[in-house]
Structure 1
Amino acid sequence: MRRTRWGGIADGRFEASGFFRVEQDEGIFWFVDPHGGRFLSKGVNNVRFDPDNIRGTDRVPYGEACLQKYGSRNEWRRTVAERLTGWDFNTLGCWSDEIVAGAGETPLATAPTVDLGASFWLHRHGQRFPDVFDAEFEAHIRQRARELCTPRRNAPELLGTFIDNELYWSPDWRGHDELLTTFLNFPPGRAGRVTAITALQQHYGEFAQFNVIWHTPARSWEALHALDGIAAPFVRTAPGGDYALLEAEANRNPRRAAFAADCDAFAAVVADRYFELCTAAIKAADPNHLVLGARLGALPHDGVVAAAGRHLDVISFNCYSFDPSVLLDAYAAAGKPCLITEFSFRGDDVGLPNSSGGGPRVATQIERAGAFERYVAAALIKPNLVGYHWFEHADQPAEGRFDGEDCNYGTVTIKDEVYPELTASMSRLNAAAEGLHHKAAAARPAA
């Protein structure tokens, strides 16, 4: 099987363009590499000499071990680049040292994030999600995109750009807030809060009709604007699993159904504005490359998925489970290719606590390798998949990193010792990935 220098399948199905793009062939989505090869992005996140400090200290145990082992950062880069391509990976995932991409004999694609939304809300007190209605939001993201994307606009190795990582879109492991209740609880006078209340006022007209559903202590729209906090009258679970059935049962209560409709309608408006403005900002700064989405941390409501499909080149999401099929099927409704941007399995046999962090735990490294194989094999038969990125390159410190995570996520230990069972499985599946994905065409029902 002849391959391009990027690792794509060189079978003449696509023309070279000099940059990565996405195409469909026989109903199957693919990246197309700069030389026209059919390409699946097989990546590893956080490939860095200095990935994690021990929490509360300046110590970076992995970097200390690698400095002693290799003598220099550049020698580490060369070794790691050769190791990754030797395992048939072709992409440096998020938060990686991009110099590694060109440090070996075979180039690696890069896939950075520019944190457009996150960099905005971090400067606004009292926000959990960027206020996309703020008068300064668009100017901020355009300036940040110019600074971070314009220098890469001619880079052939750039797979594309991620907008953000795991913004809070809907109820998930972090809480039960909806985007609507999030915006309603911005400080009084904030643009997003005013927009949310205005949308409710346009929908209900009379305040009394709104308050039948929401039961606030206010007695007018003006008083609602002035409230310190606006509590949600109901709580919804996170989308996914039996969500539709549970929602249908719960929404037999007309008040709750009206509340759910309010939340869904507003989330769709926020998502449409967010994805439209962020995609436009990146494309203005770099018209040559793909916008790879926002690395969704949990499946959001349908209106958010639909908005993503309208504006993005690729929908990206993180999926810490044993099988990504349910999420790949859910995102297929958007009609865009999908990139799994984080997944991992943690083994309990290497002495790390695994006490704080996402993803399944298994007993041994052999089970960990088997979980990887089953996960990737299940993903590859989905026509909308265009890649998968493992989290992460090296294990975390046993003492915990900045947020307390202390897990066996690595392809290597914190002393840079390779996990042989896992990386053998990675090599095997990575080498077979394009063939397995192409078979998805044969599995599709006839039109």
Structure 2
Amino acid sequence: MRRTKWGGIADDCFHGSGFFRVAEQNGVSWFVDPDGGRFISKGVNTVRFDQDHIANSDSVPYADTCRAKYGSLHAWRAAASDRLAGWKFNTVGCWSDELVASAGMQRLAMTPTTALGATFRLHRRDQIFPDVFDAAFAAHIRESARDRCTRWRNEPGLLGTFIDNELYWSPDWRGADELLTIFLNLPSHRPGRVAAIARLQQHYREFSQFNAVWGTLARSWEHLGHIAHIDAPFFRMPPGGLNDALEARANRENPLRAQFSTDCDAFSAMVADIYFELCASAIRAVDSNHLVIGSRFGYQPQTNVIAAAGRHLDVVSFNCYDFDASPAIDAYAATGKPCLISEFSFRGDDSGLPNTRGAGPRVASQLERAQCFERYVTAALRKPAVVGYHWFEHADQPAEGRFDGENSNFGTATIQDEPYAELTDTMTRVNAAAEQIHAAAVSAQA
């Protein structure tokens, strides 16, 4: 099977444009590499020499290991790049040292993140989600896109640009808040609070009709803009799976709850549309050559948020730490856009690491990790919309915990830079067959 220098299948199905793009053949979505190869992005996140400081210290155990083993950062980059290519990976994923991509014998694609929304939120410490109604938000997005994307605009090895990582869109493992209640509880002068109340005021003819659903302590729309805290009258479960059916039943049984859900969904759709339109257009204004590959959804949001993403993105990206990503893929594929699994992993309890902090399933052994990888990736590749999968992450986390306390066996290699043989042998075999598996996706779906 002939391949391009990027690792894509060189079978003349597509033409090369000099940059990565997306296309469809026989109902199956693909990346197309700069030379026209059919390309599945097979990536590893956090490929970097200085991975993971031990929390509250200057110690970086993996860097200490690699400095002694390779002698220099330059030598490590070349070795890491060649090893990834040897395992049939073709992409250095999010948070990686981009120079690894061109340091080895084979060119690898790279996928930087701009953190456009997250960096604005960090300027406003009272915000859980960036206030997209703030005029400063649009200015920040444009300026940040210029600063972060201009340098890559002529780079053929850029797969695409991530906008953000795991923004909070709806109830999930981080909390029960809705975007609407988050914005309603911003300080009274914030544009987001003003916009949220205006949206409700447009929907309800009278304040009394609104308050019949929400039951606030306010006596008028003006008063609503100034009361200290607005409580949600109902709490919804995170979207997806059985929760959707349970939510639908609860709304049928309680019309007030159904109206609350409608309010929340309409507002989150509006926020998502503004966010994705501003961010995608800002990136494309300074880099029209490359794909905008999403905001790495951390947890499946409401359907209308996914739909907004599909309207503005080239590829919808999401992180999924389940044993099987198929239900999540189906939810995102409903947009009609290609889908990229931007983060997934499995942790082995025979690694000697605590595995007490970190996302995703724990399994007993490295053999089970390898088996989980194969099942997960094979099932994903059988979905026509999937154009890539990125493993989290390159090396294990320190047992003492990194900056956020994570201390898990996520690595393709130990902190001593020793590969996990069962896992990486399986990765090599599955990665090599990925295009063949994916090409049969439509018949597999039938």
Question: Which interval holds the TM-score relative to the shorter structure?
Answer: over 0.9
**2:322 equivalent in structure 1:** 321
Question: Aligned partners of 2:57, 2:304: CA distance in 1, in Å?
Answer: 43
Deviation at 1:443, TM superposition (A): 3.1
1:264 aligns with 2:245: no
> What is the aligned partner in structure 2 of residue 239 from structure 1?
239
**8 Å Cα contact 2:82/2:105 also seen in 1:** yes
Q: Deviations over 1:270-290 (max 9, x none)?
A: 000000000000000100000
Q: Deviations over 1:276-314 (max 9, x none)?
A: 000000000100000000000011101101101110000
* CA drift at 1:365: 0.3
- Aligned-partner SS, 1:403: coil
Partners of 2:383 and 2:445 within 8 A in 1 = no
Give the distance between the partners of 2:183 and 2:58, measured in 1 at CA.
37
Paired letter, 2:141: I
The aligned residue for residue 373 of structure 1 is 374
Post-superposition Cα deviations, 1:37-80, rounded to whole Å, max 9, x if no partner, equal 00000000000000100000010000011101111111111110
Q: Which amino acid aligns with 1:29?
A: S
**Is the contact between residue 382 and residue 445 of structure 2 (CA under 8 Å) also seen in structure 1?**
no
* CA shift for structure 1 position 243: 1.9
Which SS does the other structure have where 1:340 is aligned? strand
Equivalence for 1:291: 292
Aligned partner of residue 134 in structure 2, secondary structure: coil
Distance 1:250 1:321 in 2: 26
Alpha-carbon distance in structure 2 between the residues aligned to 1:285 and 1:176? 37
- Residue aligning to 1:250: 250
Q: How far, CA to CA, are the matches of 1:265 and 1:243 in structure 2?
A: 19
User: Alpha-carbon deviations, 1:4-46, whole Å to 9, x = none?
Assistant: 0000000000001000000000000000000000000000000
Deviations 1:169-228 (A, max 9, x none): 000000001110111111111001100000001101211110000011111011100011
- For residues 228 and 50 of structure 2, the distance between their equivalents in structure 1, rounded to whole angstroms, comes to 43
The residue number in structure 1 matching 2:312 is: 311
Aligned to 1:430: 431
Distance 2:437 2:358 in 1: 31
Q: CA deviation at 1:444?
A: 4.7
SS in 1 for 2:141: helix
Which range is displaced more, 435-444 or 9-18? Answer: 435-444
Q: Does 1:344 align with 2:342?
A: no
Match of 2:17 in 1: 17
Q: Is the 8 A contact 2:383 2:442 kept in 1?
A: no
Partner SS for 2:135: coil
Residue identity (%): 66
Alignment of 1:81-100 (within 5 A): 81-100=81-100
Paired position in structure 1 for 2:416? 415
Inter-partner Cα distance in structure 2 for 1:259 and 1:134: 25
Q: How does 1:189-200 map to 2 (within 5 A)?
A: 189-200=189-200
CA–CA separation in structure 2 for the residues paired with 1:247 and 1:426 = 39
- Any gaps of 5 or more consecutive residues in structure 1? none
Using the size of structure 1 for normalisation, the TM-score is 0.99
Q: Which amino acid aligns with 2:308?
A: A
Does structure 1 conserve the Cα–Cα contact (< 8 Å) formed by 2:90 and 2:109? yes
Give the drift of 1:442.
Answer: 2.6
Secondary structure of the residue aligned to 2:13 is coil
Letter in 2 for 1:161: T
Q: Give the letter aligned to residue 217 of structure 1.
A: L
The 3-state SS of whatever aligns with 1:386 is strand
What is the root-mean-square deviation of aligned Cα atoms in Å?
Answer: 0.7
Moved over 3 A (4+): none
Partner of 2:47: 47
How many correspondences in the alignment? 445
Q: Deviations over 1:290-348 (max 9, x none)?
A: 00000000111011011011100000000001000000111111110000000000000
Q: State the partner residue of 1:230.
A: 230
Q: What is aligned with 1:171?
A: 171
- Give the whole-Å Cα distance in 2 for the aligned partners of 1:166 and 1:248: 26
